[in-house]
């Protein structure tokens, strides 16, 4: 049924919520802007950086959003920052799906520089046949990130499954004509994921493989 599994990155494969929230708050402090609380900051994870900042700081001008983005990148990309951990089972899931001959890809709100850094730190880069970032296409929930991956790999939208932790992932999949499932340990609640089209919500990454096995047997 599915040939391609497209993963979100932050909150789905990598437990980077605390790092992202901290960098958003530090960027605001750098510019003397009232820093957002944790819940407001985590709610925009998954969007492209400029879209996330514009949503988080709606009174800011375009120039201020650009300045916030620059400060965020300074903190996120600094060489001495400890890498965020992968969620338990991430590597094992990718190994298993690769052994079952699925195409694997990433569609993320991260920048290309940010994703490449995390792929190198995590050692997961070799698993993916395609990756697409928010500075290369319209941000989620627009479908371009996913459509670009589909076009690159020559896979029809109905043969792709998106795995993500936010409503933006679910909406991106729906807008591209693909299915999606949610992970319940990321930034948006299982109820919110189902409301926006998740076929199911799993509580552990290994359950993605279990779900796929059940679907393929039908």
Q: Catalytic positions, please? A: 8, 10
| Residue 71: φ, ψ to 5° | -70, -40
- Residue 93 has which token pair? 């899931």
The DSSP secondary structure of 123-167, one letter per residue, reads T-GGG-SEEEETTSSPPTTSSHHHHHHHHHHT--GGGEEEEESSH
Helix, strand or coil, per DSSP, at residue 27: helix
Outline where 3-127 has alpha helix (H). Answer: 17-30, 38-43, 49-56, 62-76, 90-99, 112-122
DSSP 107: E
- Which stretch of DSSP H or E encloses residue 216? helix 206-217
DSSP 29: H
């Amino acid at each position: 049924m599915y040939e391609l599994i497209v993963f979100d990155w932050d909150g789905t494969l990598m437990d980077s919520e605390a790092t992202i929230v901290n960098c958003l708050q530090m960027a605001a402090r750098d510019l003397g802007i009232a820093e957002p609380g944790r819940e407001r900051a985590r709610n925009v994870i998954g969007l492209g950086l400029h879209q996330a900042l514009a949503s988080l700081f709606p009174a800011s001008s375009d120039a201020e959003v650009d300045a916030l983005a620059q400060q965020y990148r300074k903190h996120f990309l600094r060489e001495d920052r400890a890498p965020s951990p992968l969620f338990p089972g991430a590597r094992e899931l990718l190994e298993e799906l690769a052994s079952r001959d699925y195409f694997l890809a990433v569609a993320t709100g991260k920048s290309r520089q940010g994703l490449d850094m995390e792929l190198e730190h995590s050692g997961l880069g070799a698993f993916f046949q395609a990756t697409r970032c928010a500075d290369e296409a319209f941000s989620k929930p627009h479908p371009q990130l996913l459509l670009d991956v589909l076009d690159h790999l020559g896979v029809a939208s109905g043969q792709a499954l998106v795995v993500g932790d936010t409503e933006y992932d679910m909406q991106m999949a729906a807008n591209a004509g693909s299915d999606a499932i949610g992970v319940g340990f990321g930034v948006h609640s299982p109820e919110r994921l189902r409301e926006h089209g998740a076929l199911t919500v799993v509580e552990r990454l290994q359950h993605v493989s279990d779900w796929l096995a059940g679907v393929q047997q039908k």
